[in-house]
Amino acid sequence: MIAIVDYGMGNLRSVSKALEKVGFPGVVTQDGSVIEKADGLVVPGVGAFKKAMENLENLRLVDPILAFIGRGKPFLGICLGLQLLFSESEEFSLSKGLDVFRGKVIRFPFSIPGAPLAKDALKVPHMGWNSVRIVKSVPALDGIREGTHFYFVHSYFPVPADPGIVATKTDYGGEFVSSVGKGNLFACQFHPEKSQSAGLRILANFGRLAQP
């Protein structure tokens, strides 16, 4: 059973439908006991880091998620679900995360609104299709080729203290970390559920890992 964590900020339906499409239907839940019994766990999410942490704390889901990760079972974080794994985020004000990985979530550089875009200026959020450079082989990326494109929608990205967890990087005015992996844990800044065949491949890889 794959549990999809509902903390009020996730793109739950699209994730659930994509997992169902590759043959691994998930159960959307806010119940810590369901998370405890799950074979695989997905934490999706869109929105603000601080609000996400507040929601997880109010729903008493922080400890069940951390306990699940600690057991080494297959875990998938998507977009905000990746960022929450880190120590802190600078979004709005400095906010503490789950601290699974040491590091900070920072914002892309940006240009002054209304001003002409400089040669090296970035449009924020980073939105649309972009390619990944594979840094290390992890089970979730099985069958994913160098340069494969995925769909992104984000203004912030993680800077891990440990470069050894970096699975892929993506170039947007310079390279940023677009996914991390350690053991059975994989988390990506892009949206596999919106990334057509390549994204479905990642979800299928995850689903197979989560088979009991």
Cα–Cα dist 65/62, whole Å: 5
Q: Which of 36, 79, 88, 126 is catalytic?
A: 79
Using left for φ > 0, alpha for ψ between -120 and 50, and beta otherwise, residue 99 falls in left
Task: Report pLDDT for 115.
Answer: 52
Q: The tokens of 135 are what? A: 């840094």
Residue 36 neighbours by CB distance under 10 Å: 14
Question: Any catalytic annotation for residue 149?
Answer: no
Question: Any catalytic annotation for residue 193?
Answer: yes
Question: Any catalytic annotation for residue 188?
Answer: no
Helix (H, G, I), strand (E, B) or coil at 14: helix
Please report how many Cα atoms fall inside a 13 Å half-sphere around the Cα of residue 94, on the Cβ side. 4
* Whole-prediction pTM: 0.93
Mean pLDDT in each 10-residue stretch from start to end of the chain (212 residues)?
93 94 95 96 93 96 98 97 97 92 89 52 88 97 97 95 97 93 97 97 97 82
Within 22-100, where are the H helices? 32-37, 49-58, 62-70, 80-83
Task: Report pLDDT for 112.
Answer: 47
Domains of the chain: 2-209 (3.40.50.880)
